[in-house]
Amino acid sequence: MRPLVLSLGLVGLIGPAMAVAPLVDLGYTRLQGVSQQSGVTQWLGVRYAAPPVGELRFSAPIDPPATEQVVDATQFKPICLPRSPNDFTMQPNRRFTVSEDCLYLNIFAPTAATTESPVPVMYFIPGGGFESNSNANFNGSALARFGDIVVVQVNYRVGPFGFLQSEEVKERGSLNNGLKDLIQGLKWLQAHISGFGGNPDQVVMAGDSAGATSIALLLSAFADNDPNLFKGVIMESVSLATVRSMSQGQEQYTCLVSAAGCFSSADTFACLRSVNASALQTQNCQFNPHLDDDLVPAPMLDRFAEGKYLRVPTIAGSCTDEGTKGVPRDTDTVEAALKFVNDQASGALSDDSLALIRETYIDVEQPVFNNSGRLWRQLANAHGDFRAHCVTAKLQDAQARDGVLTWNYRYGVLDEEQEELGFGAYHTVELNGVFGPNNTDGAPPKSYSTSNAPIVPVTMAYWAKFVRSLDPNAETADFVTQVERADMPTWMPWTTDAKQRLLFQTGNTKMEEMPRTQQDNCAILDAMLPAIETPSEAKGAVQLRQVTDAAGASEGGDNLPVQSGGVVAMGRQFPGVTQVVGTCLAVLFLV
């Protein structure tokens, strides 16, 4: 089949004298990047805000200081300190070290890009549960080259450095600084990205996991005041942040004061500002975006339900097996599974609600894998729904209701090794398709360099076309791809009635409808979502409702019947794998 070629005048045809040079003068500083033979110029470790240390700890970001000397921008700089001293990012590797001085971004631009004909920009926000920058310092060269776009990645403060909440912080510092860092980065782009060949009028925010949740929070923050910092968003595996009230945040502030050895200090805030940064890292205190009467005036779910969010074209979706790496692999009893679920809702689920969770998920046949508990996959399926699939659908239902163009996807690329381990298409695996294998965290699934290699240009093409035109189907110019047209079906928008989504599969990417069973499961979980987002002291008060009009799962549903020779789970068969249903044990309800 003839390859699909999307072509306009390529920027590479413009004379080299007009292309952006690796040495960029921004007025307040000069940055020395490096041009790669691959056709991409990169500037790494670009400071977009002043170091948030000393008196700027717990303060809103401010502009970076001016420098007279040329700044070396050829090496990655540190990412932000995680909440926990045991976080994996504390172990240095080839991509990053960590530091409190961390407000840097990385820029990857086509070498032929010019200031006269700038190209669109993708502003990528890493995830990490607001506890770390777990997807930081990716290599954006392949995506920038393939899509003829500028790829920017940004660090932002997390844990207590980004989300400490108390009256002391509100009065003498600033709340939700991690979100304010992201806004500062966007403002920096508006002022300076044209110097790198990027178009400040065509910026699309993209993020994975907590990065996607940050985007949703910013959409709700800008409901009544569009700052014109971006034109569209891509939310990969968007979830819910636990947004605490001021009194709840004050409890975590007290927790940190004690952990940092500042409890006996007459001025606890000054003490927290003065101690070594490592003293603020703790296993036991929790910090997230929080209610602040400013950026987060109300829970995100409430804002979207009321139509109070910035309405821009959106791509949002999740991986088939979102929950497999988010729940204890050794889950073996009904009690343990239901305790985990109820803990996610701060203990707010009633006895009847937990019984319904058990009936809907825990007692449903699923495969059992080596080195895993009998109920691991049941719990993982529940977690994937209430932490990702159902959240995405709820936000996009609101957008579709309000006439916003929004496209949903399910990333279901199958890797034989990950299937055998039971992880499937796990949380964040789509990043290997977006950035290309070997450009992301750790080791990618081996198949992305062999049998699944064709899914990479397909994923990149949809993302790049959206960044360029705010439409993943647009045949935009100055963009050439060798992707087969048959591999890129028309991606239909999400609607409240059809609930169509694009299923990414190697050699078989296609449209599907969200299965009726999963829709019904999301309806059951609907009352649980606010309890995840806004913790309550009322234990056992949330009552989930039974769906009585189920029409049965459509093809590709989550709960399919067992077939001979193996087990079907999440719409596929695991030959020879043992299956188990939650046993009829007496359940200890935690209320």
Asked if the structure places residue 154 within a domain, the reply is: yes
Q: 248: closest CA among 286, 282, 275?
A: 286
Asked if the structure places residue 69 within a domain, the reply is: yes
Asked if the structure places residue 419 within a domain, the reply is: no
Q: 196: closest CA among 252, 125, 140?
A: 140
DSSP class per residue in 486-503: GGS---PPP-TTT-EEEE
Given pLDDT bands bounded at 50, 70 and 90, which one contains residue 479?
low
Tens digit of each residue's pLDDT (9 = 90 or more) over 195-204: 999 999 999 9
Contact in structure between 403 and 431 (CB atoms under 8 Å): no
**Residue 96: both structure tokens together:** 């990053």
Mean pLDDT across 188-193: 98
Given pLDDT bands bounded at 50, 70 and 90, which one contains residue 12?
very low
Given pLDDT bands bounded at 50, 70 and 90, which one contains residue 163?
very high
Amino acid at position 189, single letter: L
Given pLDDT bands bounded at 50, 70 and 90, which one contains residue 438?
confident
- Alpha-carbon gap, residue 214 to 182, rounded angstroms: 9
Which of 15-24, 79-88, 536-545 is predicted with the least confidence, judged by mean pLDDT?
Answer: 15-24
Q: Is the dihedral of CA 319, 320, 323, 329 positive or negative?
A: negative
- Alpha-carbon gap, residue 298 to 88, rounded angstroms: 32
How many structural domains compose the chain? 1
Asked if the structure places residue 281 within a domain, the reply is: yes
Contact in structure between 283 and 86 (CB atoms under 8 Å): yes
Tens digit of each residue's pLDDT (9 = 90 or more) over 309-340: 999 999 999 999 999 999 999 999 999 999 99
- Alpha-carbon gap, residue 90 to 102, rounded angstroms: 14
Instruction: Say what the pLDDT of residue 573 is.
Output: 38
Q: What residues make up the domain containing 296?
A: 29-312
pTM for the structure as a whole: 0.90
For residue 169, give every residue at least 6 positions away whose Cβ sits within 8 Å of its Cβ, in sequence order, or none.
58, 175, 253, 269
Any idea what DSSP says for residue 305?
A: H
Instruction: Please list the alpha-helical segments (H only) found in 268-389.
Output: 268-274, 300-305, 334-344, 351-357, 376-384
Asked if the structure places residue 128 within a domain, the reply is: yes
Instruction: Say what the pLDDT of residue 584 is.
Output: 32
Amino acid at position 406, single letter: T
Asked if the structure places residue 566 within a domain, the reply is: no
For residue 51, give every residue at least 6 positions away whose Cβ sits within 8 Å of its Cβ, in sequence order, or none.
100, 101, 103
Q: Does the pLDDT of residue 564 top 50, yes or no?
A: no
- Alpha-carbon gap, residue 568 to 366, rounded angstroms: 7
CATH number at residue 151: 3.40.50.1820
CA-to-CA separations, 91 to 97, 281, 325, 445, in angstroms, rounded: 8, 15, 20, 22
Mean pLDDT across 97-117: 95
Query: Alpha-carbon Rg of the chain, whole angstroms?
Result: 24
Mean pLDDT across 103-131: 96
Given pLDDT bands bounded at 50, 70 and 90, which one contains residue 5?
very low
Q: What is the mean pLDDT of the chain?
A: 89
Amino acid at position 551, single letter: A
**Residue 285: both structure tokens together:** 């205190």
- Alpha-carbon gap, residue 23 to 20, rounded angstroms: 8
Given pLDDT bands bounded at 50, 70 and 90, which one contains residue 88?
confident
Instruction: Say what the pLDDT of residue 476 is.
Output: 61
For residue 219, give every residue at least 6 positions away whose Cβ sits within 8 Å of its Cβ, in sequence order, or none.
233, 309, 310, 312
Asked if the structure places residue 511 within a domain, the reply is: no
Cβ contacts of 65-71, under 8 Å, gap ≥ 24: 65/28, 66/28, 66/29, 67/28, 67/29, 67/30, 69/30, 70/23, 70/30, 70/31, 70/32, 71/29, 71/30, 71/31, 71/32, 71/47
**How crowded is residue 553: how many other Cβ atoms within 10 Å of its Cβ?**
19
Q: Does the pLDDT of residue 574 top 70, yes or no?
A: no
Asked if the structure places residue 518 within a domain, the reply is: no
